[in-house]
Structure 1
Amino acid sequence: MKYLLSGSLLGLIFGLQATLSLAKPSTDEWDYLQPSRDQVIASLNVVELLKRHHYNKPPLNDARSSQIFDGYLEILDPSRSYFLASDIAEFESWRTQFDDFLREGKLEPGFTMYKRQLERQTQRLNYALGLLEAGIDQLNFKADEDLTINREKSPWPQNTTELNDLWRKKIKDEVLRLKIAGKDSKNIQELLIKRYKNQLTRLRQTRGEDVFQTYINAFAQSYDPHTQYLSPENAENFDINMSLSLEGIGAVLQSDNEYVQVVRLVPAGPAEKSKQIQPADKIIGVAQGSDDMVDVIGWRLDEVVKLIRGSKGSVVRLEVIPASNAPSDQTSKVVSLTREAVKLEEQAAKKSILNLQHDGRDYKLGVIEIPAFYLDFKALRAGDPDYKSTTRDVKRLITELEKDHVDGLVIDLRNNGGGSLQEANELTGLFINRGPTVLVRNNDGRVDVLTDDSSTGLFYKGPMAVLVNRLSASASEIFAGAMQDYHRALILGGQTFGKGTVQSIQPLNHGELKLTLAKFYRVSGQSTQHQGVIPDISYPSVVDTQEIGESALPHAMPWDSIRPVLPLARNPFKPYFDELKKRHEQRTQNNPDFVYIRERLAFSQKLMQETSVSLNEEKRRTYQSTIEKQQLAFENARRLAKGEKPLDKLDQDEPALGKPSKEDKDLKPEEDAFLTETGHVLLDYLGLNARVAHNNSKI
Structure 2
Amino acid sequence: MNTIINFMKRNYKILLVVTVLSVTLFAFKIKSGVDSNPDKDKLLLELLTFVIEKGHYDPATIDDEFSKGIYKDYVQALDPSKRFFLQSDIDEFSKFETELDDQLMNKDLTFFNLTYDRLMKRMDESKKIYKEILSTPFDYAVDESFNTDYDKAQYTKSVAELTDRWRKQIKLSTLSSLTDRLKVQEDKSKGLVDQKSADSLSTAEQNEKINKNGPEKIKDSDLGEGGKSKTFAELEKETRENAKKALDEYFGFMNDLERDDWFSVYVNSITARFDPHTNYFAPEEKSRFDVSMSGTLEGIGARLQKKNDFTEISELISGGPAWRGKQLEAGDQVMKVAQGNELAVDVVGMRLDDVVKKIKGPKGSEVRLTVKKVDGTIKIISIIRDIVEIEETYAKSSVVNKNGLKYGVIYLPKFYINFENKDGRDAGKDIALEVERLKKAGVSGIVLDVRDDGGGSLSTVVDIAGLFIEQGPIVQIKSAGRKKEVLYDRDKKIEWDGPLVIMVNSFSASASEILAAAIQDYKRGIIIGSKQTYGKGTVQNVIDLNQFVRNSEVGDLGALKTTTQKFYRINGGSTQLEGVSSDIVMPDRYAYLKMGERDIDNAMPWDKIESAEYSVWDKTANFNKAISNSKSRIEHSSQFKLIEENAKWIDSRSEDNTYSLNMKKFKIAQSAIEEAAKKYKPISKYKNSLQFSSLPYELVETTKDSILKEKRDRWHEALSKDVYVEEALNVLDDLQSKAGLKKDLPAKMEKEKLAKS
Distance 1:667 1:239, change over 3 A: closer
Aligned to 1:177: 176
CA distance in 1, matches of 2:255, 2:412: 47
Aligned to 2:570: 523
Aligned to 1:400: 440
CA distance in 2, matches of 1:607, 1:340: 47
Higher RCO (C-alpha under 8 Å, 6+ residues apart)? 2
Equivalent pair of 1:463/1:489 in contact (CA under 8 Å): yes
Aligned to 1:673: 723
CA distance in 2, matches of 1:14, 1:387: 41
Query: Structure 1 residue 496: deviation in Å?
Result: 2.9
Quick one: which of 59, 72, 75 aligns to 2:61?
59
User: SS at 2:563's partner residue?
Assistant: strand
Distance 1:412 1:115, change over 3 A: same
CA distance in 2, matches of 1:80, 1:665: 40
Matched, 1:493 2:533: no
Aligned to 1:245: 298
Equivalent pair of 2:275/2:603 in contact (CA under 8 Å): yes
Identify which range, 530-539 or 459-468, moves more after superposition. Answer: 459-468
Q: 5 Å matches for 1:19-168?
A: 37-133=39-135, 135=136, 137=137, 139-168=138-167
- 1:185-219 CA-to-partner distances (Å, cap 9, x unmatched) read 33333333344455566666663313322211111
Amino acid in the other structure paired with 2:430: T
CA distance in 2, matches of 1:664, 1:453: 39
Amino acid in the other structure paired with 2:514: I
Query: Structure 1 residue 379: deviation in Å?
Result: 7.8
CA distance in 2, matches of 1:206, 1:351: 42
CA distance in 2, matches of 1:363, 1:642: 16
Distance 1:247 1:502, change over 3 A: farther
Matched, 1:289 2:305: no
Equivalent pair of 2:393/2:413 in contact (CA under 8 Å): no
User: SS at 2:578's partner residue?
Assistant: coil
Aligned to 1:432: 469
User: SS at 1:492's partner residue?
Assistant: strand
Amino acid in the other structure paired with 2:260: E
Query: Structure 1 residue 107: deviation in Å?
Result: 1.0
Equivalent pair of 2:571/2:611 in contact (CA under 8 Å): yes
- 1:275-326 CA-to-partner distances (Å, cap 9, x unmatched) read xxxxxxxxxxxx960669xxxxxxxxx97778999789x9999xxxxxxxxx
CA distance in 2, matches of 1:363, 1:201: 56
Report the TM-score, using the length of structure 1 for normalisation: 0.70
CA distance in 2, matches of 1:291, 1:178: 29
Amino acid in the other structure paired with 1:190: E
Amino acid in the other structure paired with 1:442: S
Quick one: which of 603, 619, 622 aligns to 2:649?
603
Query: Structure 1 residue 46: deviation in Å?
Result: 0.8
User: SS at 1:165's partner residue?
Assistant: helix
User: SS at 1:176's partner residue?
Assistant: helix
Quick one: which of 21, 27, 30 aligns to 1:5?
21
User: SS at 1:449's partner residue?
Assistant: strand
User: SS at 2:440's partner residue?
Assistant: helix
Aligned to 1:224: 275
Distance 1:102 1:482, change over 3 A: same
- 1:151-201 CA-to-partner distances (Å, cap 9, x unmatched) read 213232233343233222122112213323436333333333344455566
Equivalent pair of 1:375/1:389 in contact (CA under 8 Å): no
Amino acid in the other structure paired with 2:298: S
Equivalent pair of 2:572/2:611 in contact (CA under 8 Å): yes
Distance 1:600 1:308, change over 3 A: farther
Amino acid in the other structure paired with 2:164: D
Aligned to 1:655: none
Q: 5 Å matches for 1:380-529?
A: 381=423, 389-397=429-437, 399-400=439-440, 406=444, 408-456=445-493, 458-494=494-530, 495-508=532-545, 509=549, 510-529=557-576
Query: Structure 1 residue 604: deviation in Å?
Result: 3.0
User: SS at 1:389's partner residue?
Assistant: helix
Equivalent pair of 2:414/2:456 in contact (CA under 8 Å): yes
Distance 1:576 1:396, change over 3 A: closer
Equivalent pair of 1:372/1:418 in contact (CA under 8 Å): yes
Q: Over aligned residue pairs, what C-alpha RMSD do you find?
A: 4.7
Quick one: which of 211, 221, 241 aligns to 2:262?
211
Amino acid in the other structure paired with 2:238: N
Distance 1:454 1:666, change over 3 A: closer
Query: Structure 1 residue 100: deviation in Å?
Result: 0.8
Identify which range, 195-204 or 681-690, moves more after superposition. Answer: 681-690
Query: Structure 1 residue 437: deviation in Å?
Result: 0.5
The gaps in structure 2 that reach 5 residues or longer are 1-16, 182-215, 217-234, 306-316, 320-328, 335-349, 361-366, 374-385, 550-556, 690-709, 741-757
Aligned to 1:594: 640
Report the TM-score, using the length of structure 2 for normalisation: 0.65
The gaps in structure 1 that reach 5 residues or longer are 22-34, 254-267, 271-286, 293-301, 318-338, 357-361, 644-659, 691-699
User: SS at 1:466's partner residue?
Assistant: strand
User: SS at 2:298's partner residue?
Assistant: coil
CA distance in 2, matches of 1:425, 1:640: 36
Query: Structure 1 residue 610: deviation in Å?
Result: 1.1
Equivalent pair of 2:416/2:457 in contact (CA under 8 Å): yes
Q: Identity, % of aligned pairs?
A: 28
Distance 1:689 1:677, change over 3 A: farther
Equivalent pair of 1:55/1:443 in contact (CA under 8 Å): yes
User: SS at 1:60's partner residue?
Assistant: coil
Query: Structure 1 residue 74: deviation in Å?
Result: 0.9
Distance 1:374 1:124, change over 3 A: closer
User: SS at 2:477's partner residue?
Assistant: strand
- 1:21-73 CA-to-partner distances (Å, cap 9, x unmatched) read 9xxxxxxxxxxxxx961211111111111211122211111110111111111
Identify which range, 516-525 or 45-54, moves more after superposition. Answer: 516-525
Aligned to 1:619: 665
Distance 1:675 1:378, change over 3 A: same
Quick one: which of 520, 536, 539 aligns to 2:586?
539
Amino acid in the other structure paired with 2:70: I
Query: Structure 1 residue 553: deviation in Å?
Result: 5.7
Distance 1:159 1:65, change over 3 A: same
Equivalent pair of 1:65/1:97 in contact (CA under 8 Å): yes
Query: Structure 1 residue 681: deviation in Å?
Result: 3.5
Aligned length: 582
Query: Structure 1 residue 235: deviation in Å?
Result: 3.6
Equivalent pair of 2:593/2:651 in contact (CA under 8 Å): no
